[in-house]
Structure 1
């Protein structure tokens, strides 16, 4: 299966416009390289440019992480999952749907399209996000939902800019990949592989925090 095409086609079926990958060197002067799928849409999220006619988009964005807030360079070779250059699949809603539909779309794609076994899946939410946890309980048992703090489940683009709580989906690759106490959701081990990060960008951080 072509995962990229399956993802983009799935979200097109959910009324998202397919958007081509933006250049690796962004127009954003605060970034050296495009390091996340939302970078080309930052001006929409901040309200600097109008929301497009279709407030839903999906893309496969080329990204490079070699410094700054999202720096994976030092982890390359130490884990089985970090890269400096990769394509980030994403679906975006500009003031249209929010947590409930985002969670439902992700769950439908990974369980019905990708057919990943439900008994291998785990979810994390921000420790303060009661709403996301209750929505996840419609899809997965409560004992497979973990609450974590800002370090793991609060996403921010950089020191300033769009930010908010997030919810991550993990695949348990099995006990044979267990390497010790660092093997937990969001940890440095390889047993639990993060496959999706649902970011709920409901805040904008300014220079004063």
Structure 2
């Protein structure tokens, strides 16, 4: 069954997004203009550890170094245009080597359309297929980031609980909600 999302634009025209067209791929330097759209957006950076980019050099450094920093990092694409990213990284604690943490960003223009949920489902499948040692994927979400909480719930993650004053982000102690999915939770 084809999944679509229809949204109204301010001009009254409807935009139809076929979620079957959402793909994940590696980043290329040709993605720079697209990457800069969401990396310079304060709304996107609000719940992230990074500040909005201020130069194209920041974007180039991101593209050139991203794959070496993470277990897996993919561009979220529509019509091969990078509109966000989804990534997996391993905890520093070596006793947790069967786990990976999930993160994602998406251009605010595409929020609320089911795109990140679709991308998260794809990366979960990739994670458990390509990294057979993984038993658990987890995601930490700021308590105020309700949209991201909904993404994870729709993608099959379970809410485990609130971690009070769990980390300091942008100079402020933040409460975070832990979500997880286990390799045997989903029918992949």
Question: What is the TM-score of this pair, normalised by structure 1?
Answer: 0.32
User: Which structure dedicates a bigger proportion of its chain to helix?
Assistant: 2
Question: What is the TM-score of this pair, normalised by structure 2?
Answer: 0.34
User: Which structure dedicates a bigger proportion of its chain to strand?
Assistant: 2
